[in-house]
Structure formats: structure tokens, C-alpha cells
Amino acid sequence: MNGHAIEPGQTMAGRYRIEDLAGEVAQSRTWRAMDTILNRSVGIQTMPSNDARATAFLEAARASTTVLDPRFLRVLDAVADEGGAAYVVREWTRAVPLAVLLRERPMSNRRAATLIGEVADAVARAHEVGAYHCCISPATILVNDNDVVRITGLGTEHALYASGRPDEAEGHPCDEQADVLALGRVLYACLVARWPGGRESGLSPAPTEHGRLLRPRRVRAGVSRDVDAVCDRILGDPPRHDAAPLRSARDIAAALSRVSDDEPEPTGLSPSPAAATGTPTWASSSRATDGSPARGGTGSLPRALVITGVALLVAMLAVLAFYVGRQSAGDGAASDTSDGPKVPASSATAAARPLAARA
């Protein structure tokens, strides 16, 4: 048996019964299995034991156990060689990758800030004990039906992609700044359903202008200024308006906790042909491509202001109707209390005619 000869129905380590294939990444496979001793589902990630990356993969899995934050899927076991297969056993969770959600549509400001704020807080706790993920992406962040976040691949994902030096993957060092940059990219993807810096997890590349990444507010209408600024403080080189850059996961989590949802939520993306030229304007946007409100547009007017204006108008009309009613009632009362008997106009005219004839 090797990493790719495993089949459903097999039992590994005398307790893990393989159920079905859950996914494949970097020539490794992840299976859902049943722990027959504890009667619970687990995830088993396998690869051939003679793979050059197997040793680093298992070492990274063991090292990740120093991180106790429950938002990381916990490693339960790591086996170097069983029938030609090296594998790592993890907790199992019923959730979907963030990439699946983003392929459907972008997220609202509040939801994006909350989810990535949770990821950033978990990553900050890992950094406190000297552990780095280095491959944070929409594929390694899992979200369940209640928007509870779980993170997989702590250390091991980097080991799978590393080639040559064990401390590098795809030419980038594995350190705190690698995680900070990845958090900014995932936040950007949550807001516009595009990936900054190429294709990733099935998402199209984010547009650029003169070699600089367009900020989220220029890609999709409804992105709040707060969360847009957080993105720029992570990814901007340098950040606009001389803003202080965010250089730690803890700083990112704190900044996202202060984000307000001050723009309408998106109803979907409708790219114009200009998007292909790197100068995108969206059909649903009332904002010009330079980030300023478009002439005649009202889409960015806060909903609360509109409601307040309508309420004031209704109140003014009610007051006006009240005073008109009182004036009409006063005029009627004055007519009823005038001196002398009331003579209909027609009768008075008829009585005046004989007097005029006698005269």
C-alpha cells in the first residue's frame, strides 16, 4: 500500500476505517475516515512514504500540536510509514472551504471582517508560540453553516509546496510577514471575489492599474471605507494617505474588529467590458473608478439618512394638516355666531326686487 493505493474500506493503524476521498492537494490525498475506537469521524491526509517531502510533512504536523487554539484543526496522529504510506490524522469538521463560498459571490463588509478577524486572531495566537502557517488561502479556511471558522494545514501545507530548502515555499520565506500578507489577500478576496496576485482557489485575478493593485472600493460597489483601508494597510506598498501599515496578525484582528458596515451589501458582480482592460467599473456601482461618487448617483447615500428625511417630511405634512384643520374650524365658528337672523342669499335677493319696484 502507498499513499495513492488507499481505498475506501481499508483500516489504518488498526482503528481508522477509510470512508471516502475528501480532496487532493499537492500530490497528497485527504480521506474521511471513522475512528472505530472513539466512534468519531477524522480526516487522514496521506502521501507515499518515499516522497521527498514526507519527512518535512510529518515534522510540521507534529510541531503544529504546540498551537492549542481550537480554530485550528488539531493533529491527532502522525505515522511515518504504514505499508508505504505516510499520513497525518486530524480532527474532522463539517464545513466547506472559503473558496467555495467566494466562487458564488463576494461577502458583505461585516461578514468578511468577522471571518478574517477570527482567522487573524487564531494566527496571532500561533505566532505567539513561534508557529507559522505560511499557506493561508481560501482553500485552507473552512466555514460551517454558523460561520464558525476552522483552519487546516498549519505548517503542513507549506511543507507540501516546499521545494529545495525546507524553510521556503514558492520562493518566499515562511515567517510572520508571509502570514500577514496572506491575511490581506484573503480579506481582499472576501470583498470582491477576486484574488490579488494571480489565480487562486478558482478565483479570477484581481485587476491592477499601472502595476498597482486596485483597492476593493474600485472593484466592487458597497465596500466600506473602513475595511478598504484595512486591506490597503496590509497590501499597499506603501499604504495610501501615509497610513500606518499593519505588520502583525494581532494588529489586523484589532483593525477588523472596528470595521463598520456603512455601505449597501452587494447583490452580485456585474463586470463591465472595462474590467478586461484593468480599469473596472461595475454595472451595480454608483461610484466612479477614482473612488469618488459618480455624478447623479445615489447608491452610496446611507440608508439611515434617507429614512430620516422621509420621516421628517411626513412629520411636516402632519403639522401642516393640523393647522389647516384648525383654521377651517375657526372660520366656521365665526360665521355661526354673527348678529341677526340668517337669510339665505336667494331669499334676500328676491325680497329686494319688490322694494326696488315700489321705489
* CB-based contact 196:202 (threshold 8 Å): no
For 334-356, letters b (16+ CB in 10 Å) and e give: eeeeeeeeeeeeeeeeeeeeeee
Decide if pLDDT at 214 tops 80.
Answer: yes
What's the pLDDT score for residue 352? 40
Residue 216 CB neighbour total at 10 angstroms: 29
Q: How confident is the model at residue 237 (pLDDT cuts 50, 70, 90)?
A: confident
pLDDT at residue 114 greater than cutoff 70: yes
Among candidate residues 150, 146, 149, 166, the one with its CA nearest the CA of residue 158? 166
Among 81-95, 111-125, 158-172, 327-341, which is the least confidently predicted range?
A: 327-341
Angstrom distances, CA of residue 180 to CA of 11, 62, 117: 40, 23, 12
Residues 31 and 104 in one domain: no
pLDDT digits (tens, 9 = 90+) for 173-185: 789 999 999 999 9
pLDDT of residue 266: 53
Give the residue numbers spanning the domain of 86: 14-91
- Whether 209 is covered by a domain: the verdict is yes
Q: Taking all residues of the chain, what is their mean pLDDT, rounded to a whole number?
A: 81
Say whether 290 sits in a helix, a strand or coil: coil
Same-domain status, 126 and 161: yes
Q: Which of 99-108, 275-284, 299-308 has the highest mean pLDDT?
A: 99-108
Q: Do residues 198 and 271 both lie within one domain?
A: yes
Residue 271 has pLDDT above 50, yes or no: no
| pLDDT given at position 86 | 96
Q: Which of 47, 43, 133 is nearest to 95 (CA)?
A: 43
Biggest alpha carbon–alpha carbon distance for the chain: 138
Q: Is it the case that residue 194 has pLDDT exceeding 60?
A: yes
What confidence tens digit (pLDDT) does each residue in 248-264 have? 999 999 999 998 765 55
Q: Is the pLDDT of residue 54 over 80?
A: yes
Output the pLDDT for position 101.
97
Same domain? 82 vs 209: no
Same domain, 143 and 279: yes
Q: Total structural domains in the chain?
A: 2
Element (H, E) at 169: strand 168-169
- Which of 238, 272, 292 marks a domain boundary? 292
In-domain check, residue 243: yes
Summarize pLDDT for 131-142 with one digit per residue, the tens.
999 999 999 999
**Does residue 183 share a domain with residue 248?**
yes
- Pair 177, 287 in one domain: yes
- Considering only 10-24, 265-279, 323-337, which range has the smallest mean pLDDT? 265-279
pTM for the whole thing? 0.71
263 in any annotated domain: yes
Task: Report which of residues 268 and 236 the model is more confident about.
Answer: 236
